A and B are shown apart, each in its own frame.
Chain A
Amino acid sequence: MNSPTTSGIVAGRLNEQQLADNFSDLHAPLDPHEASVAADRCYFCHDAPCVTACPTDIDIPLFIRQIATGQPEGAAKTILSQNILGGMCARVCPTETLCEQACVREEAEGKPVIIGQLQRFATDTLMAQGIHPFAREGNTGKRVAVVGAGPSGLACAHRLAMRGHDVVIYEASTKAGGLNEFGIAAYKSTDDFAAKEVDWLLKIGGITIETGKALGQGLNLSDLTSEFDAVFLSIGLGGVNDLAASGADKIGVTDAVDFISLLRQTDDLKTLPIGRNVVVIGGGMTAVDAAVQSKLLGAENVTIAYRRGRDRMAASEFEQDLATSKGVRILYNLQPVAFHGNGSVVEVEFEYTADTPTGLQGTGETMRIPADQVFKAIGQTLETSEQLKIERGKIAVTGAGRTSVGGVWAGGDCALGGEDLTVTAVAEGRDAAEDIHQTLMGKA
């Protein structure tokens, strides 16, 4: 039996019960009593700021009032009509920087209405009954290809199917869901929720998913545009940024997203190896998720090293607090300069940095942190060879996701604009679908 102090990258540092506890729901679902107490706190604001703050514009006061009056299913319909992945968003949205930050009760008492958890209560109630509350409009005879079955592609496909179009989704991976399935922290989407949500979404009908089919590998854009009436690209960011530090090829240095993806697809977490001294390089949600989950797997020491100051960190304050509460150490103003070790990494050497008027600069002073496993979480990049206009590393779009190529729309992480969040991906997929619909029906 291994323990957190066993050296090297080993499996089984914690027992089954510890792992089950560690990877259970971050927020336990509300029971009906908790939901009604929480719902009673909503003021039913006029032109509510929470709605403005929601990228999918869910009518939050309305759905909360529906919960308060004993109609959780109606509440779910209010949510899902704007955001078909409202169930996942309820779990993964950084509400502390979105709706809940805007809630007037945050201003009044520093305690917002717990909108995210209420949203989960409503959507879980409906989905537990196996109800899919939307039906397709009359068939239009139009066919649309969606490339990538992440949240953006799924939201687009659902809205298109609802408007009466037939949709084929081409997905490179063996499973649909995108980062919902492979990226989101395990404790945010427990009990195989991502896959269940996809199955539930597909109940609308009219959507076919072809897995193992990748654009650029057998599929190309011009074939798609000639075969289909429109194409929506939602391929996310498949590549990862490289580190400039030397020795990045040492054993034990990997991409955080690969680690998380492996973790999400491992049925028995006792079999998943993790280092004793884990160092995560980066400052976003991916860094936090990799660090927290390393700790939850039983790593003894987990450090996040971020090259700028705390205020610049992309991970929200809530996420940072979550990490530190789980025992993760966060160090600021450190950039990696070298990975040391003979074959396998044993230490990371960092240089201190300072924000100067001319940008981030190394101070020359260095320090070392022991590490048998290093996760790079310094951002993902777009991978495509298609002849699309690219701007700042993403597919350039105008309006509701129109790309430089006629008949081709794009949304989600791969497209320019908006934050790289699940909810933004959903909003862009939905809006592109409406624009495609208008275009195909000759209304736009």
Chain B
Amino acid sequence: MADLTTNFLGITSPNPFWLASAPPTDKEYNVRRAFEAGWGGVVWKTLGSEGPPIVNVNGPRYGAIYGADRRLLGLNNIELITDRPLETNLEEMARVKADYPDRALIASIMVPCEEEAWKAILPRVEETNADGIELNFGCPHGMSERGMGAAVGQVPEYIEMVTRWCKKYYDRPVIVKLTPNITDVRYPARAAKNGGADAVSLINTISSITSVNLDNFSPEPSIDGKGSHGGYCGPAVKPIAMNMVAEIARDPETHGLPISGIGGVTTWRDAAEFMSLGAGNVQVCTAAMTYGFKIVQEMITGLSEWMDKKGYTSTSDFIGQAVPNVTDWQYLNLNYIAKAKIDQDACIKCGRCYIACEDTSHQAIWMKEGRVFEVNDAECVACNLCVDVCPIEGCITMERMPAGATDPRTGQTVQDEYANWTMHPNNPSSQAAE
């Protein structure tokens, strides 16, 4: 078993799987159970200022999107930050950290955008011996109406300012948690870096309405006939989160800034993907809320077995390995030519590839006598739709055409050398190849 010990900002944890700041980390009882189950670290449920605690709704706070067999694909919530007194949380954090010195314990904080507020809470957090703090600039509902959470995360200047205050009043690592509810995640990430952040974590939840009750026309979750947009998370948001992580990892201004990857991590594979895109570790919320803490066991064994197979001895061996391969469309090799190929032995003859291609794509699949489906190379543009709709994994593959072969669709010879859009004759601003 490969050693999964991960060092993130000097904080070591036995594995890179942390629980994100959310209900699973809202109190001592849950966090102890999480550590017993094997989680490498937790980001405690977001703390607010001293004083009367936050009030949550007393009706449903979650909504869901399902896949086949009622698999939960996306969860949305209208929960606020912790609704327990600050003092209680701080006492519990101190106790847990003392009992689990090898695990990471991070305090998530959201207080008003005033220097005094931050100055007041930071020393109290420091006393708990937490390993660091995470600034919650992401919550898209409720708190943002009060000028906190996403309301801060959407204004790079505020991010920079608050981060600076934190670096001033707190000595341990400061992680800035980013909201995806912006147009270009690089700006808030740069602001965090400029403010002195040790790392960014992303994504927080995405503003969303999951469903509408068609009897009373209330959005769900419905509170007495009304609904408010919530924050969306779970497997459905993973592609959005990964793109944002990659954008920050490959932006020259933030390249190298440590990232904690969050959003839809459900299996070891998701974690490995986030980390290959530059995340130093991952945080998980929905998967734990769906299946319980035990899922971390699958993540631990899966990741170490994969590392063993690949010969990696440390997570740092593969972190960021995919970053150089994330590029802009204009640099993709237009001389890479592939064709779909259907494995007739694996085919179960459902015809989905055929109808998808016939109705909505390039009419490049023949349906022959006896429900035999074959690709017509003269029409196939290798779009991958047939692969994506086929119920049998590996039945349809994309086969690269070797250099020198003739593409029957264009009648042109497949070229060996790389050529992208910037060099293409159809591009008005291309430089003609000399």
Contacts and interface: CB of A to CB of B under 8 A. Distances in A.
Interface of A: 36-37, 40-41, 43-49, 104-105, 107-108
A104 B68 contact: no
B362 interface: no
B355 interface: yes
Report, as a range, how many residues of chain B touch the other chain: 10 to 19
Contacts of B351: 45-48
Contacts of A40: 68-69
Contacts of A43: 350, 352, 391
A239 to B, nearest CB: 41
Nearest to B392: A108
B85 to A, nearest CB: 42
B118 interface: no
A104 B350 contact: yes
A441 to B, nearest CB: 35
The residue in B348, B367, B371, B392 that gathers the most chain A C-beta atoms within 10 A of its C-beta is: B348
A68 to B, nearest CB: 8
Contacts of A44: 352
Contacts of B367: 46-47
B69 A104 contact: no
18 contacts: A37-B70, A40-B68, A40-B69, A41-B68, A43-B350, A43-B352, A43-B391, A44-B352, A45-B350, A45-B351, A45-B352, A46-B351, A47-B351, A47-B371, A49-B371, A107-B348, A107-B349, A108-B348
Interface string B30-70: 00000000000000000000000000000000000000111
Nearest to B371: A49
Interface of B: 68-70, 348-352, 354-355, 367, 371, 391-392
A311 B341 CA distance: 38
A150 B354 CA distance: 41
A108 B346 CA distance: 8
Contacts of B70: 36-37
Contacts of B348: 104-105, 107-108
Given A40-B69, A104-B349, A107-B348, A46 B355 contact: yes
B69 A49 contact: no
A44 B355 CA distance: 11
A116 B230 CA distance: 41
Contacts of B68: 40-41
Nearest to A108: B348
A46 B354 contact: yes
Contact of A46 (B69, B352, B392): B352
A105 B350 CA distance: 9
B300 to A, nearest CB: 31
B392 to A, nearest CB: 7
Contacts of A45: 350-352
Given A46-B354, A108-B391, 9 more contacts: A36-B70, A44-B352, A46-B350, A47-B355, A47-B367, A47-B371, A104-B350, A107-B348, A107-B349
A49 B349 contact: yes
Nearest to A41: B68
